């Protein structure tokens, strides 16, 4: 598969390093406005685009890929206020879009555990719940999209008000990502934690998503891939 990387930061480099191991070729990288035009011919040779940029540029990048008929995997978070609009456009135009707040397979297993634990804790008022997340200093959105996913799951499955779930965000060094959900009572504490040791797990998930999109149209998430 030929892959175009939209955004050529740390995640873009991690995907580029891993792609050959899965038999894929990165044919194009786009990292600024000028390169959309300068590299248009190479972009057209791609079978899928993988996008990791910024919350302010992600939507425009996705729409540009729609315009080219290019399936796109978006790993940028922080633009959920426009997600319904983008998904509607995807479905109306019969395009291919894969979004996730976190592409790590381990983190997505934690999402499943988080829903189950929240359901078990429903009605147990003696436990207060909180979320903590730590990322590298370059991450632009806070809280992380992953932390917001965890909070929304707890609210939906555990019957707790979303605004009553505190989220602590820390930005330090080059930490790839640590997420912890904690239920605390007067007598004990129960925690779920996922810690990424590198960006390789995220890169693998993004490549699996790009593979999954081949021959498919519509909007997909990690739940579709894992199923």
Structural domain spans, the chain: 2-103+200-226, 105-195
Lowest mean pLDDT among 140-144, 180-184, 187-191: 140-144
Catalytic annotation, residues:
135, 139
Q: Among 123, 226, 134, 199, which Cα is nearest to 172's?
A: 134
Q: What is the pLDDT of residues 170-187, one digit of tens each?
A: 999 999 999 999 999 999
Query: pLDDT at position 59, please?
Result: 97
2-103+200-226 CATH pick, 1.10.3720.10, 2.30.40.10, 3.30.70.360, 3.40.50.720: 3.40.50.720
Q: What six digits make up the tokens of 73?
A: 């995997």
Q: Please state the pTM of the whole predicted model.
A: 0.87
* Architecture (CATH level 2) of domain 105-195: 2-Layer Sandwich (3.30)
pLDDT tens for residues 101-130? 899 999 999 999 999 999 999 999 999 999
């Amino acid at each position: 598969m030929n892959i175009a990387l939209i955004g050529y930061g740390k995640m873009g480099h991690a995907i580029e390093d891993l792609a050959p191991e899965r038999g894929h070729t990165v044919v194009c990288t786009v990292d600024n406005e000028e390169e959309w035009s300068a590299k248009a011919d190479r972009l057209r040779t791609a079978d899928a685009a993988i996008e990791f940029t910024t919350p302010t540029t992600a939507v425009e990048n996705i729409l540009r890929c729609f315009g080219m008929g290019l399936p796109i995997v978006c790993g940028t978070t922080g633009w959920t206020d426009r997600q319904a609009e983008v998904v509607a456009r995807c479905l109306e135009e019969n395009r291919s879009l894969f979004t996730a707040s976190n592409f790590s397979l381990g983190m997505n297993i934690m999402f499943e555990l988080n829903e189950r634990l929240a359901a078990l804790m429903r009605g147990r008022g003696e436990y207060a719940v909180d979320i903590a997340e730590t990322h590298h200093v370059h991450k632009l959105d806070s809280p992380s999209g992953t932390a917001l996913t965890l909070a929304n799951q707890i609210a939906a499955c555990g019957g707790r008000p979303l605004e009553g779930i505190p989220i602590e965000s820390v930005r330090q060094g080059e930490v790839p990502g640590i997420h912890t959900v904690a239920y605390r009572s007067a007598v004990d504490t129960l925690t779920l934690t996922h810690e990424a040791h590198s960006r390789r797990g995220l890169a693998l998930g993004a490549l699996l998503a790009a593979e999954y999109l081949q021959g498919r149209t519509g909007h997909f998430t990690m739940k579709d891939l894992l199923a």
